[in-house]
Amino acid sequence: MAQKPVKETTGERVLRVATELFAEKGYEATGVEELSKSTGLGRGALYYHIKNKQQLLLNIALRLLENANREARRILASGGTAEERLHRMAEHLLTDLSTNRSAWITSMRDWQALDEPYRTHVGHLRNEYEQYWQALFDEGAEAGLFHPVHPMQRRAIVGMFTTSYRWIEPSGSLSPKQISELYVSLFLDGLRKRPSEQA
Amino acid sequence: MAQKPVKETTGERVLRVATELFAEKGYEATGVEELSKSTGLGRGALYYHIKNKQQLLLNIALRLLENANREARRILASGGTAEERLHRMAEHLLTDLSTNRSAWITSMRDWQALDEPYRTHVGHLRNEYEQYWQALFDEGAEAGLFHPVHPMQRRAIVGMFTTSYRWIEPSGSLSPKQISELYVSLFLDGLRKRPSEQA
DNA sequence: TACCCAGTGTACCGATCGGTAGGTCCACGA
DNA sequence: TCGTGGACCTACCGATCGGTACACTGGGTA
């Protein structure tokens, strides 16, 4: 495989520009006219490539979540202890959050703008993603490594990661891997000093 | 003080209904006409009580954050160890999240719809709130109780709490206090079993 | 040359947007 | 009894919304 075609199709370009616009101003606040101007396409040309505005939002969310679930399954099935895979899971999420920040912002913040049944479908994909984390925690607990994780704690942990779209910046001083390690050590080892660690 | 007036003013009612509407459908997606119908007020009457739509959003966020900061200062200055106050801080946040869920949803999700300088102002109030948590962590670290907390970890912890508006329900089986304890034990003690705890 | 059709721009659609003008109603005080 | 002002409603504003109709262009093909 020498090199995939460098040029993105017009449809892909529209989706990319829409992702950035939605992330910046919000889905509802972004007009089709603005998308038209930002892509350099007229209204008619725009609608030649997309079905409607809502499909753009749906595609952004679907692409993001389906990819996340695919990768989560891959990591879950990969070798190593539950803790090792947990680190991988965390690093991958932070990396994805950093590289696809706009799509994460839009998916997390504006998914309620979706009509049924898309909205429910997206919700299911999110639940599915959370279950992969839960599976890892359960594995760790069964192996005697972790304390059992309450579902509400699992939601908090995953939420802690995903809500990072608020401040993550690809140009930040810490790499996604470093940040993920900061997070994992937080909920794995905790902040409290052991008696043996006291100064 | 026998009893505060039971009846809310029309202005307060408008703000309350707007909070619920914004939370349910999103700020941009909620029309003034819908707010008019839900309050039972005509358009003219509505604008007699409010300046414009955006001021509603601003007031929702200001009321929430100013109250949160006031309470945080109070707890920070109250007695006890850093850990004790941390538990109080967490419980208070979860309780507030549970009782004022609609306002939290709107403030967290739609604050970007605010024009400058309001947007920046709200951002500052949020930073202020985070600093009260940071102060508690710093106190605990200085007392030799906690490991030093990286700012990114502090954001993650506070984010873990605030992002709970997504699934918190006042009628849930766990009380805000119970949930807050679940969270605090998570980042204070961690999930990992100590060697002495191994089965 | 004649045709075709993917891709595009322009002009326009009805609906709805946030907001306002101007009048009505009524409780209250002089 | 009249005037005043708070609270309210109806009718309307220009702007913008998402979406469509339709004509046109240009490169490839028969």
**Alpha-carbon separation of residue B177 from A89, B56, B102 (angstroms):** 30, 30, 19
Q: Residue A128: is its pLDDT beyond 80?
A: yes
- Contact assignment for B146 to A192 by CB distance below 8 Å: yes
Closest CA to B113 of B37, B30, B170: B30
Domains of chain A from N-terminus onward = 1-50 (1.10.10.60), 53-197 (1.10.357.10)
Is the minimum CB–CB distance between A2 and chain B shorter than 8 Å?
Answer: no
| Percent of chain A scoring above 90 in pLDDT | 84
For B105, which residue in chain A has the nearest alpha carbon? A109
User: If you measure CA to CA, which chain B residue comes closest to A106?
Assistant: B109
Whole-model pTM: value is: 0.91
Cβ-based contacts of A175 with chain B (< 8 Å): none
Q: What percent of chain A has pLDDT over 70?
A: 94
Tens digit of each residue's pLDDT, chain B (199 residues)? 433 445 688 889 999 999 999 999 999 999 999 999 999 888 888 898 999 999 999 999 999 999 999 999 999 999 899 999 999 999 999 999 999 999 999 999 999 999 999 999 999 999 999 999 999 999 999 999 999 999 999 999 999 999 999 999 989 899 999 999 999 999 999 999 887 665 5
**Mean pLDDT, range A46-75, rounded to an integer:** 95
Does residue A44 lie within 7 Å of nucleic acid chain D, judged by its CB? yes
Q: Protein footprint on strand D: which nucleotides are under 7 Å from a CB?
A: 7-12, 16-23
- Is the pLDDT at A60 greater than 90, yes or no? yes
User: From the alpha carbon of A10, which nucleotide's C1' atom is closest?
Assistant: C7
Q: Which residues of B touch A110 (CB under 8 A)?
A: 26
Q: Does B127 touch chain A (CB under 8 A)?
A: no
Q: Mean pLDDT score of chain A, rounded to an integer?
A: 92
> DSSP characters for chain B?
-----SSPPHHHHHHHHHHHHHHHH-TTTS-HHHHHHHHT--HHHHHHH-S-HHHHHHHHHHHHHHHHHHHHHHHHHSSS-HHHHHHHHHHHHHHHHHHTHHHHHHHHHHGGGSPTTHHHHHHHHHHHHHHHHHHHHHHHHHTTSBPPPPHHHHHHHHHHHHGGGGT--TTSSS-HHHHHHHHHHHHHH-SBPPGGG--
Cβ of B160 within 8 Å of Cβ of A164? The answer is: no
- Closest protein CA to C1' of nucleotide C16, residue: B31
> Binning pLDDT at 50, 70 and 90, where does residue A195 land?
confident
* Angstrom distance (rounded) from CA A47 to CA B42: 38
Among chain A residues, CA nearest to B185: A190
Out of A109, A153, A174, closest to residue B186 by CB: A153
- pLDDT for position A8: 81
Please name the nucleotide lying closest to A46, CA to C1': C8
